[in-house]
Amino acid sequence: MSKSVNLASSVFRTDIFSNKCSIVTGGSKGIGKAIAIELASLGSKVVIASRNSKEIQESAESIKSITGNEHIYGIECDIRKEESVKNLVKSSIDKLGGINFLVNNAGGQFPCPVENMTIKGWKAVIENNLHGPFIMCKEVFDSYMKENGGSIVNILAEFKRGFPLMAHTGAARSGMDNLTKTLSMEWASYGIRVNAVIPGTIVHKSMIKHYGEKFTSVLDILRKKIPVQRYGTCEEVSGAVCFLLSDAASFMTGGSIIVDGGQTLITPTSLFNVPEHSKLPAFQWLNNVKSKI
């Protein structure tokens, strides 16, 4: 790998993934892009995949320039479509030489109470967050990991108390939690570990664009209740993903890491309010290139 300048200062040793090949779905922006940057900065060859072909190529170029890693490829793919996933996996193996790591990050939803939800809307979100990651796992397994082992990390969203206004995503993420556990057992004998990362509220450019300023401003009420008293950064999610992919997590499979600043511990009946503080600041190794995420 030619490493001219690496602007991404991960906490991990810079060669830990130097012989690895990774796919990150939804790597064109937000959390997925941060994960792809960190993997690339640690030496992995990386394919990022998303639906917008122009955006995915531009992101691949920007990851190359941020990390100095030339082995970054953008491939157009809709994870909901089996043929598109087959093409992604085949092209990735052709370009990278294999697939050691799969990060199922692509996903998302829209806020909507069930009484207003159409069947089409329900299906779109279930396909994006459950069916799509399932096809990705299956195709990567059949095409490479069954023979060679590997490590898979699924990005979920907190679902354990239900998900009012986002029932579709709650159901899909709960399904992915179960699938993560099932695959960890079914595929252990193939040398494959399967884990999950559950981000809390990670506010970044495209997230604000997707939900709108009005919706995200409501989040400020929530921010005050979060024990760390702030939202998370994309890099803070990425660190957990890299840990799970790495040998440091070699005894972890079927597990999940919650990266939410303590948000899931808040209950409506809690009498305790965290005093205002700024003692737990964000960890942002991408400070100098923040505008690119």
290 neighbors 234 (Cβ within 8 angstroms): no
Nearer to ligand LGGBLMCM, 95 or 210 (CB): 210
Nearer to ligand LGGBLMCM, 14 or 264 (CB): 264
- 194 strand-pairing partners: 152
The reply to whether 133 sits near ligand NDP by the rule CB under 6 A is: no
d(Cα 95, Cα 45) in Å, to the nearest integer?
A: 9
Indicate the helix (H) or strand (E) that contains 193.
strand 192-199
The reply to whether 22 sits near ligand NDP by the rule CB under 6 A is: no
d(Cα 111, Cα 43) in Å, to the nearest integer?
A: 38
- 242 strand-pairing partners: none
62 neighbors 292 (Cβ within 8 angstroms): yes
Among 41, 44, 59, 128, which residue sits at the site for ligand LGGBLMCM (rule: CB under 6 A)? Answer: 128
The reply to whether 233 sits near ligand LGGBLMCM by the rule CB under 6 A is: no
Q: What are phi and psi of 134, to 5 degrees?
A: -65, -45
Q: How many residues does the chain have?
A: 293
Among 135, 194, 207, 259, which residue sits at the site for ligand LGGBLMCM (rule: CB under 6 A)? Answer: 207
Judged by CB under 6 A, the chain residues 136 through 175 that form the site for ligand NDP are: 155, 157
d(Cα 147, Cα 144) in Å, to the nearest integer?
A: 6
Q: Please choose which of ligand LGGBLMCM, ligand NDP, none residue 25 contacts, taking the beta carbon within 5 to 8 angstroms, the exact cut-off set by kind.
A: ligand NDP
Least distance from ligand NDP to the Cβ atom of residue 128, Å: 5
Distances (CA, A) of 12 to 5, 41, 131, 151, 241: 17, 10, 32, 17, 12
Picking from 198, 235, 231, 250, the residue whose alpha carbon sits closest to that of residue 10 is 235
Q: Please choose which of ligand LGGBLMCM, ligand NDP, none residue 124 contacts, taking the beta carbon within 5 to 8 angstroms, the exact cut-off set by kind.
A: ligand LGGBLMCM
The reply to whether 50 sits near ligand NDP by the rule CB under 6 A is: yes
The reply to whether 262 sits near ligand NDP by the rule CB under 6 A is: no
Inter-axis angle of helices 167-186 and 119-126, to 10 degrees? Answer: 30
Query: What mask, x for binding ligand NDP by CB under 6 A, covers residues 23 to 42?
Result: --xx-xxxxx----------
Given the rule CB under 6 A, which of 15-23, 96-104, 108-116, 234-242 is the region that contacts ligand LGGBLMCM? Answer: 108-116
The reply to whether 199 sits near ligand NDP by the rule CB under 6 A is: yes
Q: Please choose which of ligand NDP, ligand LGGBLMCM, none residue 8 contacts, taking the beta carbon within 5 to 8 angstroms, the exact cut-off set by kind.
A: none
Among 14, 65, 91, 112, which residue sits at the site for ligand LGGBLMCM (rule: CB under 6 A)? Answer: 112
3-state secondary structure 88-154: HHHHHHHHHCCCCEEEECCCCCCCCCHHHCCHHHHHHHHHHHHHHHHHHHHHHHHHHHHHHCEEEEE
Which positions touch ligand NDP (CB under 6 A)?
Answer: 25-26, 28-32, 50-52, 55, 77-80, 105-108, 128, 132, 155, 157, 199, 201-202, 206-207, 210
Which positions touch ligand LGGBLMCM (CB under 6 A)?
Answer: 108-110, 112, 118, 120-121, 124-125, 128, 157, 201, 207, 210, 219
